[in-house]
Each structure stands twice: as structure tokens, then as C-alpha cells.
């Protein structure tokens, strides 16, 4: 009986020693502790970004959070962004999107999560936006809303393309020379139809294109196949999509 008691005591002592050994290892190496017991490292910041004029969420953009020791970056997706694992401190938050004035502000990150709602203002003046909407109205007033947004997007894509002027007014009033004659790139500018006031639909389409919606798939131009002769140069351009009566191309 004493023999079995002694053996049981040895086994219990052995299990206790093994448990202590692994407990010390887990304390020395946090990766060995159960995930449910791990403490949260750093804070999280989330944000919603909108167009200051239309209230539309911005589809893309870049976000950075910087101080002397730390630098965090992410992108805007569908009007929101998120940064995690931020060391508490005071940072400069920068939010940027093409065709918008950048936003910079100081934010203090504490242990708790932080949620922000910010707006960005377009770089274009109200008169430029009105000109833009009048062009979209003149070119696509008979098209679907998606078709109007696509037309607006091609104008913005030209601003970013090295083959075209780098300003909105410059793109809209762009003149080309063919066979010794000067032509505006857009027929409504040539024939004066651009002077007609824009519909609210065209204005909304402009704002949607600014916010980042591009149904044209990065096209820089469009034409109506039913109205363009087979010898036109536009047939040689790479098509991106067709919406309604317009074929879009790069």
C-alpha cells in the first residue's frame, strides 16, 4: 500500500513540475499564451470621407498618419478607411484624393479607438463645375445616368493624361488642327450647345465622377457609332465599354 502511495505522489509532483515549466515559458514568450488572453496592441482609427459639396462618399484616396517616430498609411475604399495598431500620441492626419484639396489636421490618438467623419472640397470652382455639367448635359442628355457619369469621367481622365491639357477648362476648350482647320474636341463647344444650362442630373453625374465612379473604365473619349463614319480615326482607338449610344475608348 505504501508502495502505491509513493508512486502516486511522484506522479502528482511530476505533473505539477511540468505545469510550472510551461507556465514559465508562456510568461517569457507571449506568443505561447492563448489568443483570447492577449492584450490589444495599439489603437485603431476609422474614418468616413465625403465630398463637401455633394455629400457623396469618396471612392478612393490616400490617408497617412505621421509623427516623428511613426508613420501609418492606408487607402480610402468606398468612402471609408481604417488604420490599426497605432501607438498613442499626437499625429498629423493627411487625406488626399485627386481633384480635391488635401485635408491636414492634428489628431491625438489615445488608448481608445477613434472614429472620424471628414469632408474634402473639390479643387474646381463653382463656375468650372457649372461648365463641366453643361458639357455633360450637352453631350449626354439623352443617355442613362450611368452614361452621363461615364462621359464626365472621360473628361477627368483627360486631365490626368499627358496628351491633353492639365486643367478642366483646358480639356473642355481643347482645340485640334486637322486638314488646316481648327476644331474644338467637343462638338457642343463648337456649335454653342454648351451654353444651355445643365440639368440637375448632369450636375449629379459630375459629382459622382469626381467622387471616383468611372463607368467608362478609364476611357479618355467617346463617340456615337451610329453617327460616325467608318473612316474616322476614333474606330482605331481601343474600346473600353459601350453604354447606351456611346462607345468609350482610350
Residue ending a domain, choose from 65, 100, 120: 120
> Domain holding 89: CATH number?
2.60.40.1120
Count Cβ atoms below 10 Å from residue 113 Cβ, excluding itself: 13
SS3 state of residue 115: strand
Residue 25 domain-assigned (yes or no): no
What per-residue confidence (pLDDT) applies to 233?
A: 86
Q: Which residues make Cβ contacts (< 8 Å) with residue 76, sequence separation at least 6?
A: 49, 58, 59, 60, 61, 62, 63, 95, 97
Looking at residue 87, the DSSP 8-state letter turns out to be P
* Residue where one domain finishes, among candidates 86, 120, 154: 120
Whether residues 145 and 221 fall in one domain: yes
Beta strand 89-96 pairing with 103-109 = antiparallel
Is 10 strand, coil or helix?
helix
- Say how far apart CA 140 and CA 160 lie, in whole Å: 22
Residue 4 lies in a domain: no
Q: How far apart (Å, rounded) are the C-alpha atoms in residues 75 and 218? A: 19
- Residue 14 covered by a domain: no
pLDDT of the residue at 4: 46
What are the residues whose beta carbons fall under 8 Å from the beta carbon of 70, sequence distance 6 or more?
Answer: 86, 87, 89, 91
- Whole-number pLDDT of residue 232: 87
Q: What pLDDT does residue 180 have?
A: 83
Query: Locate cell 476614333: which residue?
Result: 234
Tally of domains in the chain: 2
Asked, for residue 6, whether it belongs to a domain, the answer is no
Phi and psi at residue 78, to the nearest 5°: 55, 40
Q: Which is nearest to 111 in space by CA: 139, 137, 89, 143?
A: 89
Which of 92, 120, 148 is where one domain is finished?
Answer: 120
Domain of residue 93, residue span: 43-120
- Please give the pLDDT value at position 214: 98
In a domain, 10, yes or no: no
pLDDT at 9: 52
| DSSP 8-class letter at 100 | B
- Neighbour count for residue 102 (Cβ, 10 Å): 13
Rounded to whole angstroms, the Cα distance separating 219 from 17 reads 71
How open is the CA angle 57-58-64, to the nearest 5 degrees? Answer: 120
Ranges of the chain whose pLDDT falls below 70: 1-41
Q: Which residue has the cell 467617346?
A: 222
Amino acid at each position: 500500500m505504501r508502495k502505491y502511495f509513493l508512486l502516486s505522489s511522484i506522479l502528482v509532483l511530476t505533473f505539477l513540475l511540468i505545469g510550472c515549466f510551461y507556465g514559465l515559458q508562456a510568461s517569457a514568450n507571449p506568443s505561447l499564451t492563448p489568443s483570447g488572453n492577449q492584450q490589444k496592441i495599439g489603437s485603431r482609427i476609422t474614418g468616413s470621407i465625403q465630398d463637401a459639396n455633394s455629400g457623396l462618399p469618396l471612392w478612393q484616396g490616400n490617408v497617412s498618419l505621421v509623427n516623428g517616430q511613426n508613420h501609418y498609411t492606408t487607402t480610402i475604399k468606398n468612402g471609408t478607411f481604417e488604420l490599426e495598431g497605432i501607438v498613442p500620441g499626437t499625429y498629423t492626419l493627411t487625406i488626399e484624393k485627386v481633384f480635391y484639396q488635401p485635408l491636414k489636421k492634428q489628431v491625438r490618438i489615445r488608448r481608445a479607438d477613434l472614429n472620424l467623419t471628414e469632408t474634402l472640397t473639390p479643387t474646381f470652382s463653382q463656375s468650372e463645375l457649372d461648365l463641366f455639367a453643361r458639357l455633360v448635359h450637352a453631350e449626354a442628355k439623352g443617355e442613362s445616368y450611368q452614361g452621363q457619369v461615364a462621359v464626365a469621367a472621360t473628361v477627368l481622365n483627360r486631365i490626368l493624361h499627358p496628351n491633353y491639357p492639365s486643367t478642366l477648362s483646358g480639356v473642355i476648350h481643347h482645340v485640334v488642327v486637322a486638314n488646316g482647320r481648327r476644331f474644338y474636341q467637343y462638338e457642343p463647344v463648337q456649335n454653342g450647345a454648351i451654353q444651355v444650362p445643365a440639368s440637375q442630373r448632369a450636375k449629379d453625374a459630375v459629382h459622382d465622377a469626381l467622387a471616383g465612379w468611372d463607368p467608362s473604365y478609364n476611357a479618355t473619349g467617346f463617340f456615337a457609332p451610329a453617327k460616325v463614319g467608318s473612316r474616322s480615326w476614333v474606330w482605331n482607338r481601343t474600346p473600353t465599354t459601350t453604354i447606351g449610344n456611346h462607345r468609350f475608348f482610350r
